[in-house]
Structure 1
Amino acid sequence: MSTWGGPVDTTLTGGRIATPDGVLESGWISVRDGRIDAVGEGAAPEGETVDLDGALVVPGFVDIHCHGGGGGAFSSPDHELVRRAVAAHRRHGTTTMLASLVSRPIPELADQVAALAELVDDGVFAGVHLEGPFLSAARCGAHDPAILRAPDTHSVATLLRAGRGTVRMVTIAPELDNGVEAVRQLVDGGVLAAIGHTDATEAQVRPAVDAGATIATHLFNGMRPLHHREPGPIGALLDDERVTVELICDLHHLHPTAVRLAAKHAGLGRTVLVTDAMAAAGVGDGVYDIGGLAVTVKDGVPTLGEGGALAASTLTMDAAFRNFVRSCELTICQAVAATSTRPAALLGLAGETGELRAGLAADLVVLDEELRPRDVMIKGEWVKE
Structure 2
Amino acid sequence: MSTVLAAQKALIGRGFTGPVSVRIEDGRIADVTETANGDVASGLLTPGLVDIQVNGAFGTDFAEIDNDGMRRIVRNLPRTGVTRFLPTLITADLDRIVEQARAVLAAVSTVNGYGARSLGVHLEGPFLSPKRPGVHDPSLMVAPTPERIEAVLELRDALRMVTLAPELPGGFEAVQRLTEAGVLVAVGHTDATGAETTKAADLGAQMITHLFNAQRGLGHREPGVPGVALVDDRYTLGLIADLAHVGADACRLVFKAAGDRVALVTDAVAAAGMPPGVYRLGGADVLLSDDGVPRSAEGTIAGSALTLDRAIRNVISIGVDPVTAFRAATVVPADTIGETALGRIEPGALADLVLWDDELRPSKAWVEGKLVYDAETAEPDTTLPPHREAAGQPS
Bigger shift: residues 244-253 or 341-350: 341-350
Alignment match of 1:242 (pick from 196, 220, 234): 234
Give the secondary structure class of the aligned counterpart of 1:64. Answer: strand
Question: 5+ unaligned residues in a row in structure 2: which ranges?
Answer: 379-395
CA contact (8 A) 1:11 1:28 kept: yes
Partner of 1:141: 134
Cα distance in 2 for residues equivalent to 1:366 and 1:276: 24
Partner of 1:5: none
State the 1:293 CA deviation: 2.8
Deviations 1:291-335 (A, max 9, x none): 2332111122111111x22110011111111112122x1222212
CA contact (8 A) 1:170 1:192 kept: yes
TM-score in terms of structure 2 length: 0.89
Bigger shift: residues 100-109 or 111-120: 111-120
Cα distance in 1 for residues equivalent to 2:349 and 2:76: 24
Bigger shift: residues 368-377 or 196-205: 196-205
Partner of 1:194: 186
2:262 equivalent to 1:274:
no
CA contact (8 A) 2:61 2:282 kept: no
Relative to structure 1, the CA distance from residue 50 to residue 140 in structure 2 (aligned partners, 3 Å threshold; closer, same or farther) is farther
Partner of 2:324: 334
State the 1:120 CA deviation: 5.7
Q: Which amino acid aligns with 1:194?
A: A
Cα distance in 2 for residues equivalent to 1:43 and 1:213: 43
2:73 equivalent to 1:85:
yes
Question: 5+ unaligned residues in a row in structure 1: which ranges?
Answer: 1-7
State the 1:79 CA deviation: 2.4
Give the secondary structure class of the aligned counterpart of 2:53. Answer: coil
Cα distance in 1 for residues equivalent to 2:126 and 2:74: 24
Q: Which amino acid aligns with 2:48?
A: G
Q: Equivalences for 1:52-67 in 2 at 5 Å?
A: 52-53=41-42, 55-67=43-55
Cα distance in 1 for residues equivalent to 2:126 and 2:342: 31
Cα distance in 1 for residues equivalent to 2:334 and 2:353: 13
Alignment match of 1:295 (pick from 286, 289, 295): 286
Partner of 1:216: 208
Cα distance in 2 for residues equivalent to 1:137 and 1:83: 34
Cα distance in 2 for residues equivalent to 1:37 and 1:368: 25
Cα distance in 2 for residues equivalent to 1:244 and 1:97: 17
CA contact (8 A) 2:193 2:222 kept: yes
CA contact (8 A) 1:144 1:292 kept: no
Q: Which amino acid aligns with 1:314?
A: A
Bigger shift: residues 215-224 or 341-350: 341-350
State the 1:14 CA deviation: 4.1
Partner of 2:164: 172
Partner of 2:389: none
Give the secondary structure class of the aligned counterpart of 1:138. Answer: coil
Give me the identity figure in percent. Answer: 42
Relative to structure 1, the CA distance from residue 43 to residue 372 in structure 2 (aligned partners, 3 Å threshold; closer, same or farther) is closer
Aligned residues: 368
Partner of 2:335: 345
CA contact (8 A) 1:117 1:164 kept: no
Q: Equivalences for 1:19-168 in 2 at 5 Å?
A: 19-44=12-37, 50-53=39-42, 55-119=43-107, 124-161=117-154, 163-168=155-160
Partner of 1:15: 8
State the 1:77 CA deviation: 4.1
2:361 equivalent to 1:368:
no
CA contact (8 A) 1:57 1:366 kept: yes
Cα distance in 2 for residues equivalent to 1:43 and 1:369: 19
Deviations 1:233-259 (A, max 9, x none): 111222211111100111111112211
Cα distance in 2 for residues equivalent to 1:326 and 1:286: 28
Cα distance in 1 for residues equivalent to 2:303 and 2:65: 20
CA contact (8 A) 2:24 2:369 kept: yes
CA contact (8 A) 1:142 1:293 kept: no
Deviations 1:166-192 (A, max 9, x none): 101100111211111111111121111
